[in-house]
Amino acid sequence: MIILALVISSFYIILIGAFILGFSKLPDFNLSNLSPKIKFTIIVPFRNETNHLPVLLHSLSNQTYPPNFFEIILVNDDSSDDFKSIIDIFKKENSALNIQVINNIRVSNSPKKDALNTAINKAQFNWIITTDADCKAPNNWLTAFNEFIQKNDTIFIAAPVLFERQNSFLFHFQNLNFTSLIGTTIGSFGIKRPLMCNGANLCYNKAAFLKVKGFEGNTKIASGDDVFLLEKMIIHFPNKVHYLKSNASLVLTKTLTNWSDFIHQQIRWTSKATSYKNTFSKLVGIIVLFENLLLVLVLISAIFKPTLWYLFFFIFIFKLLIDSFLILKTTLYFKNKLSISHLIISSLFYPFFIIFIGIISLFKTYKWKGRVFKK
């Protein structure tokens, strides 16, 4: 058991170490006052988001980019709240913005992919930017994409998303988990093995989207509008898929407010993992799962065989150190705050949580936006 444990942990440390190096290797992108050239269609699917829409819309109205260089398409996915009055007021106060609201046309098991398809079919510009209704975009968001496109031969651009700060263990647990995912994402782009991206901050070429047939082949899975599209883009345009590593492009979003919603979110994310086609993504998932399973098994074994406690602490400390390095690197880059006490507690709790999610995702349906989905 000791040899197996050391082998698994060695693979894990090498993997996370590669992402740390990749994070450093991926160059920062700095703005250089290029003139506006690219025209964008911003697409925002929404469902019962009256609490969040005003913040998002306000951030879009504060863009430093010329209003005639972008349009906003809000896709109503069968909302039952009073979103119309909020949008109407916003449109009156921001008459210079080209903003329209359309209804989602459902044709599959994936409401969000349907919403994106509905909007893309109506988009008048060739560059699509997607975000979520509970997000807030920085003032230079469109400016950053404009300059990046002009300076790079690209058709697909992933960009960072982080959480707005709160004070609760649930927030810190989600934040640390999410920060590690952002660090891993950036690191994977840095080693030219892109793993993930986030649909809350994506930019891609409409012609390229149509060429790869959009979300075709993945519509049976409710989530994955971002990762599955990334996989397609890598296959068809391997040298034109990039990451915009810049604070100017950082979108902020909110954590979930209760454990039930968070668990359902994790089940939703886990449910798409078995459909990944990227071999490296599958390998990373296996190594991460085995490392966390290893920690749980060694801890349980140590309760009955005290001589294994040293092995548990050895594995845990090395995992904590390598994970912390990646998280710290990410938080420092994006000027976020890191709680050491919450990091240690979350690191102890996380292996049990991820194994729990992995098990229940095999049997349990999940809720998303008031709907129930099967795995």
Examine residue 243 and state whether it is found in any structural domain, yes or no.
yes
pLDDT, mean of residues 75-99: 94
Q: What 3-state class would DSSP assign to 194?
A: coil
Number of neighbours of residue 1 by Cβ within 10 angstroms:
12
pTM of the model: 0.92
Examine residue 36 and state whether it is found in any structural domain, yes or no.
yes
Examine residue 54 and state whether it is found in any structural domain, yes or no.
yes
Q: Determine the structural domain holding residue 90 and report its residue range.
A: 32-171+196-259
Query: What pLDDT does residue 265 have?
Result: 86
Buried b (16+ CB within 10 A) or exposed e, 164-189: eeeeeeebbbbbbbbbbbbbbbbbbb
> How confident is the model over 4-48, as pLDDT tens digits?
888 999 999 999 999 999 999 999 999 998 999 999 999 999 999
Strands in 40-46's sheet, in edge-to-edge order, are 98-103, 70-76, 40-46, 127-130, 202-205, 156-158, 241-243
Examine residue 201 and state whether it is found in any structural domain, yes or no.
yes
pLDDT, mean of residues 142-155: 97
Q: What average pLDDT does the chain have?
A: 92
> How confident is the model over 227-249, as pLDDT tens digits?
999 999 999 999 999 999 999 99
Query: What pLDDT does residue 274 have?
Result: 66
Examine residue 5 and state whether it is found in any structural domain, yes or no.
no
Examine residue 225 and state whether it is found in any structural domain, yes or no.
yes
pLDDT, mean of residues 345-351: 91
Q: In angstroms, what CA-CA distances link 67 with 64, 135, 143, 180, 328? A: 9, 20, 12, 35, 37
Place of tokens 């989600």: 174
Examine residue 350 and state whether it is found in any structural domain, yes or no.
no
Examine residue 289 and state whether it is found in any structural domain, yes or no.
no
> How confident is the model over 165-196, as pLDDT tens digits?
888 899 999 999 999 999 999 999 999 999 99
Q: What 3-state class would DSSP assign to 4?
A: helix
Check: CB of residue 147 under 8 Å from CB of residue 31.
yes
Query: CATH code at 231?
Result: 3.90.550.10
Count of domains in the chain? 1
> How confident is the model over 295-316, as pLDDT tens digits?
999 999 999 999 889 999 999 9
- Residue 57's closest CA among 112, 117, 131? 131
pLDDT, mean of residues 200-217: 94
